[in-house]
Amino acid sequence: MKLEFLGHDERYIVEQSLMTLFPLEKPTYDAVQPEDEAWCRLAAEETAADCQVTAELHYHGYTAAWTFASPLTGTDFEKEGQRRYAVAACFYLAFLDLYPKLPEALRAAEKLTLPPWGMLTGVRPDKPITRALMEGKTPEEAKRELKARYFVPEERAALALETGAVGYQALKRLEKRDIDLYVGIPFCPTRCAYCSFVSQSVERSFSLVEPYVKALIAEIRAGGEMVRKNHLRPRTFYMGGGTPGILTPDQMDAILTALEESFDLSACPEITVEIGRPDTITAEKLAVLKSHGVTRV
Ligand code: SF4
């Protein structure tokens, strides 16, 4: 789908939404031509008080349009988020306007459905709930906000509330000098079509894995020193990605050894290594994880 942006450059969020709403479309940024079958023009205008976005959506002869405004308040950083939200919401609402106009056969051919999580993208739909609870809102208010702001249906909002409330309880248990440790392995065997993570397929970047592991180990050791100096206490450890399953057993062993030597993990109730791709799992790798006390895969 051709995307034309006027008055903003919110590529990331629009491309994430495009993947969810139009799973077969790839974003391009060439100028829109009269013969184009799929394009969307998203224009933003700002006053001191708000950001107003208009969307024009053309899809295989069907058209939709929407206008959406979001107030701009707070710091520059907060305003950036409000702008991004306004563009994403406007794109989503234009899609909702388009969807009922499309014939069944076209929807089926293009794999278009109404997204079960409203306009949310990514893998943490409970995040807005946890944030709202941290701001002091009641669970009911947090859920209402998720439904109103992100157009999440009741059933999914209830699920997000359940999950977000658990996350909030875990956060509340952290004391002042407690920290969470995260190690990212930004490589995957191949790239999944729906992926929103920072990751490279090893087909394209195999030669980077070994130098990355070396640099990572140096960083783990430096991080350990910093944590000791500042009397911080790790409470959780999570290795994610990408998918850490692409590491060889020796690379996994080297990283986890550096980790154990650099940090005191005795206060971590859970040590997690994410292996999201079954094609990367071997008995040897699982044995390495077990030997380092990993409690959750
Ligand atoms: S395995 Fe995970 S991180 Fe890697 S491409 Fe697939 S979804 Fe993205």
Answer whether 198's CB lies under 8 Å from 186's CB.
Answer: yes
Whole-angstrom CA distances from 281 to 19, 190, 205, 277 are 28, 15, 20, 7
Residue corresponding to tokens 């909002």: 157
What single letter denotes the amino acid at residue 74? G
CB neighbours (10 Å) of residue 91?
24
Residue ID of nearest Cα to ligand 1 atom 3: 242
According to the model, what pLDDT value does residue 114 have?
A: 96
| Spatial distance between the Cα atoms of 240 and 251, rounded to a whole number of angstroms | 15
Q: Computed over its alpha carbons, how large is the radius of gyration of the chain?
A: 22
CB neighbours (10 Å) of residue 118?
21
**Ligand 1 atom at minimal distance to the Cα of residue 188:** 4
According to the model, what pLDDT value does residue 20 have?
A: 92
According to the model, what pLDDT value does residue 276 have?
A: 80
Q: Any idea what the Cα angle at residue 146 is, between residues 145 and 148, rounded to 5°?
A: 60
- Element (DSSP H or E) covering residue 297: none
> Hey, which bits of the chain come out as E strands?
2-6, 38-46, 50-59, 62-71, 178-185, 187-188, 200-201, 233-241, 271-273
The pLDDT profile of the chain, 297 residues, written as one tens digit per residue, is 999 999 999 999 999 999 999 999 999 998 889 899 999 999 999 999 999 999 999 999 999 999 999 999 999 999 999 999 999 999 999 999 999 999 999 999 999 999 999 999 988 899 999 999 999 999 999 999 999 999 999 999 999 999 999 999 988 888 999 999 999 999 988 877 767 676 777 777 888 999 999 999 999 999 999 999 999 999 999 999 889 999 999 999 999 999 999 999 999 989 999 988 888 999 999 999 999 999 999
Return all residues near 227 (Cβ < 8 A) that are at least 6 apart.
179, 234, 262, 263
**Ligand 1 atom at minimal distance to the Cα of residue 194:** 7
And the tokens for 76?
């520059």
Domain covering 2-109: architecture: 2-Layer Sandwich (3.30)
Query: Does the CA dihedral 217-219-220-226 come out positive or negative?
Result: positive
Residue ID of nearest Cα to ligand 1 atom 2: 242
Residue ID of nearest Cα to ligand 1 atom 7: 195
Q: How is the chain split among helix, strand and coil, in percent rounded to 5? A: 45, 20, 35
Q: Any idea what the Cα angle at residue 285 is, between residues 279 and 288, rounded to 5°?
A: 160
CA dihedral 223, 208, 280, 222 (to 10 degrees): -10
Indicate the domain borders of the chain: 2-109, 127-173, 178-291
Testing ligand 1's pocket by substitution, the residue of 16, 124, 188 carrying the most ligand atoms inside 8 A of its CB is 188
According to the model, what pLDDT value does residue 253 have?
A: 98
Answer whether 241's CB lies under 8 Å from 202's CB.
Answer: no
| Spatial distance between the Cα atoms of 219 and 62, rounded to a whole number of angstroms | 53
Answer whether 32's CB lies under 8 Å from 2's CB.
Answer: yes
Cβ < 6 A, ligand 1 pocket: 188, 191-192, 195, 197, 199, 241-243, 276-277
